[in-house]
Amino acid sequence: MDSGKISKRDYIKIIALITMLLDHTGFIYKDIPNYNPVLYEVLRYIGRISFPLFCICLTEGFCYTSDRFRYAVRLFVFAIISEVPFDMCMNKHYFSIKSQNVMFTFFLSLCMLVCIEKVNESNLKIIYEIITVSLFSLLTYLIKTDYYIYGIVIIFILYKLRLYFPFSFIMIKEEKARDNKKFIIKYFYYIFYPVHLLVLSFFR
């Protein structure tokens, strides 16, 4: 496949980025005096689309990446990088323990999937999965990551759906991640998150 061609997964990521931007714009828009509540609701409702789209991309990325360790490290590094912009935008502080950015949720979700795949088919697999999902859900709740328990559960459900109903993911499954994707394109999706939060924080 032509490395310069935008894949269907890239289109999904672009839609996710745009809707996320609308969601976060709506979040700070409410601080404006005499803001329009209808516009606020429209921005937030459209923005809700972004999270499940990112969850789909993470699930697919987990299944197709050639190096899960590097994938996890990348998520964790950008979670650290994004924390100050996230706190500035969402909590109006340079550092806050009230909530942590969604990259931490994605990182923990990836770790959860890695743990789940460690156990092959057995009578105890279902119990092991329930315990694993519960523990990671509790962890996200304790450290207060964005979407916390919901993020873990949604990604787990998507992962199971992908295993048992592969055709439901056919639009993404047919195109594997390209190893020769340019650096700037590959990391644009990661960089966009802290950068847009930082920019929006200046309007609060």
**What letter does residue 33 receive in the DSSP assignment?**
T
% of the chain exceeding 90 in pLDDT: 62
Residue 87: is it exposed, middle or buried by C-beta count within 10 angstroms (0-12/13-18/19+)? Answer: buried
Does any domain span residue 95? yes
Does any domain span residue 127? yes
Q: What digits encode the pLDDT tens for the residues 21-67? A: 999 999 999 888 888 999 999 999 999 999 999 999 999 889 888 89
| pLDDT in the model for residue 1 | 46
Residue bearing the bigger pLDDT, 173 or 161: 161
Q: Which of 173, 178, 186 is nearest to 56 (CA)?
A: 173
Domain count for the chain, please give it.
1
Does any domain span residue 135? yes
- For the chain, the distance separating the N- and C-terminal CA atoms, rounded to the nearest angstrom, is 44
Q: What digits encode the pLDDT tens for the residues 15-31? A: 999 999 999 999 999 88
Mean pLDDT over 101-124 rounds to: 90
Residue bearing the bigger pLDDT, 123 or 109: 109
Does any domain span residue 33? yes
Domain, as residue range, for 84: 8-201
Does any domain span residue 1? no
Mean pLDDT over 78-97 rounds to: 92
Query: 54 — alpha (psi -120 to 50), left (phi > 0) or beta?
Result: alpha
Does any domain span residue 3? no
